[in-house]
Amino acid sequence: MALTRRQKEVLDFIAQFVDDNRHCPSYEEIAAGLQLASLATVHKHIQTLETKQYLRRGFNQSRSLELSSAYLREFKRQKEAVSGGRMEVPLLGRIAAGAPVESVAGQETMSFAELTGDKDMYALQVRGESMIEDHICDGDFVLIERTADVRNGDTVVALVRGMETTLKRFYREGEGQIRLQPANAALAPIFVPAAEVEVQGRLVAVLRKYR
């Protein structure tokens, strides 16, 4: 039976927890790990997943969850696909989300699942808080599709005057001007002649590591 996005997250959390700790998570740990509002919500998800035959649970025991063999095979396959390097993109350096800074290429890579497809992608790490109202924070990683074909309102990587890059919303203004708009009410937009801006990619996804 089909899973909802949240049900898949619950299964993935349980599987990863077991993989890391060699025992099942408690309902309290599931609630905390997935930021669920209450244990009742966890019970509901577990009951539904049991009905769909994705897991089994022992009577009145919160650490006796047993994932189905079919789900475990799929989880292992996805994990091996990522660790095998098939979903890696270059980590080229750090990108300013404040004043533009020089972009320096690196040799690291980052792995992503179900995002890259056949597109030409790369990753950058954000520095600064000019995009915080778009929920892009200092320290986040952004996944960028390498393209110059963007529309007004797209969040882009822009190379300014051939030497500085920044992450901003892109707008074409009159008289050959480009407005690079921060998502922070405390900061002013950057206006640059179109000839001095090179769009190096469009934002596809944001990754934030909490622990």
- The counts of H helices and E strands in the chain are 4, 11
Task: Report which of 130, 137, 136 is spatially closest to residue 188, judged by C-alpha positions.
Answer: 130
Find out whether 27 and 43 touch, Cβ atoms under 8 Å.
Answer: yes
What is the CB neighbour count within 10 angstroms for residue 188? Answer: 9
> Active-site residue among 8, 68, 130, 209?
130
> Active-site residue among 64, 111, 168, 209?
168
Q: Is residue 83 annotated as part of the catalytic site, yes or no?
A: no
Task: Report which of 4, 12, 31 is spatially closest to residue 113, judged by C-alpha positions.
Answer: 12
DSSP, res 101: B
- Active site residues per annotation: 130, 168
